[in-house]
Amino acid sequence: MKVEAAKITRESKSNLALAFISLGRERRRDITVFYAFCRVIDDIADATDLNVDEKRRRLVEWRRWLRISMPGEPELTRDVRGLMGKYSIAPEMLEEIIAGVEMDLDQSRYATFGELRVYCYRVASAVGLVSIEIFGYRNPSCKEYAIELGLALQMTNIIRDVGKDLRNGRIYLPQEDMARFDYSERELQDRQYNERFVRLMEFEAARARQFFARAAVLLPREDRQSMVAAEIMGSVYRGLLRRMELDRFRVFEKEYRLNKLEKAGRIAAKLLKSF
């Protein structure tokens, strides 16, 4: 396994990394390289020690590195280009992810879900579309599965991270949805937990569940085994969404996560089902 990519993945302690256990050695090594790329790109946008211009410069650098080798480039860039060649992944697919991260530099509010969906597609569905190339699939409709599952995962993230995103000056909840439930940005900034907020969160959770349901329908039968890693991710995030729903979305005061035993149970269930 490439040392730099493995280190980045290990230190992330992500749910995504947990899902890699279902893969064979070679695909696990390759998806780890891709995940490390996603992590590095995301960390650039979130870096508190960089100004916006420096963040843009670094993301532009990554765009160049996807296409050509340059002196002084990180080891990871060579690994990512090797991955692209091996699985015939066009640079535009990875540039879509960079474009999603760049949206965080320019935009901190979303008027409509239509606007937010573009963001979710870039930072999550595009990741899914690259991932299934590495997992290996036979039916082209698996791409639609990846898109819907990505939207479901990102909406769950948005619900979970409302408080955290506020601290970073970002609100991903669409303004049209907040208006629908008469919950103002001022109330959100003040972290007012009331019945209107709960109804707003229930609305967003129902949207996430719709994406999960569509993904389940779209997963081709012949690709169920190769998509076990993706299904593990879906199971963990559905559990996370359910926990928030049962607790009535106390996202201002809690950081929701499943414990190791709960995650292990979901991983085992998906592995057993695949065989």
Residues 10-21 have pLDDT tens digits of 554 555 566 677
Taking only Cα atoms into account, the Rg of the chain, rounded to an integer number of angstroms, comes to 19
Q: Which pTM was predicted?
A: 0.91
Q: What is the mean pLDDT of residues 99-112?
A: 97
Mean pLDDT of the chain: 91
Residue 5 near residue 76 (C-beta atoms within 8 A): yes
Please tell me which residue, 224 or 258, carries the higher pLDDT value. 224
pLDDT at 270 over 70: no
Q: How confident is the model at residue 191 (pLDDT cuts 50, 70, 90)?
A: very high
What's residue 12's pLDDT? 47
pLDDT at 4 over 70: no
Rounded CA-CA distance 115/135 in Å is: 30
What's residue 1's pLDDT? 43
Q: How confident is the model at residue 22 (pLDDT cuts 50, 70, 90)?
A: confident
Q: What is the pLDDT of residues 68-101, one digit of tens each?
A: 999 989 999 999 999 999 999 999 999 999 999 9
Rounded CA-CA distance 35/175 in Å is: 31
Dihedral pair phi/psi, residue 13, rounded to 5°: 50, 45
What's residue 266's pLDDT? 74
Dihedral pair phi/psi, residue 8, rounded to 5°: -60, -45
Please tell me which residue, 246 or 15, carries the higher pLDDT value. 246
